[in-house]
Amino acid sequence: MTRRLAALLVAASVLPSCERKAPGPRECEQFALQALGVPEDARLLPPRIADAVDELTVKCLVTPYDRELVRCVDEGNEVRRCLLEYQSRVETRELASTDR
């Protein structure tokens, strides 16, 4: 048991040095709430809105959204503009990877 605990502590100390490029679950949920214009203090959402938040959160997690997109929306920019900029970055990366 002591070895296992030591191994977990070592692993935990290493994890903060690894940064995901894609946003995590909390970031994606916050992104979805902001993108859909849900106030931060909203506690109970109507089912239709809750479903839309869930759908966008899942899309954020399974689509390789980048932190720049999430940051753009977090900063209060128009969601459509943020998504267009994201799409442009994706297309640029795809072109760069096919040129190799």
How does pLDDT run across 47-96, given as a tens digit for each residue? 999 999 999 999 999 988 999 999 999 999 999 999 999 999 999 988 88
Look at the chain and report how many structural domains it folds into: 1
In-domain check, residue 37: yes
The structure's pTM equals 0.68
Residues 6+ apart with CB under 8 A from 49: 36, 38
With beta carbons less than 8 A apart as the criterion, state whether 49 and 36 touch: yes
Cα–Cα dist 88/80, whole Å = 12
Q: For residue 42, what pLDDT is reported?
A: 83
Residue 12, pLDDT > 60, answer no
In-domain check, residue 5: no
In-domain check, residue 26: yes
> In the block, which residue shows the tokens 């605990």?
5
In-domain check, residue 8: no
In-domain check, residue 53: yes
Mean pLDDT over the full length of the chain:
81
Q: What residues make up the domain containing 36? A: 21-98
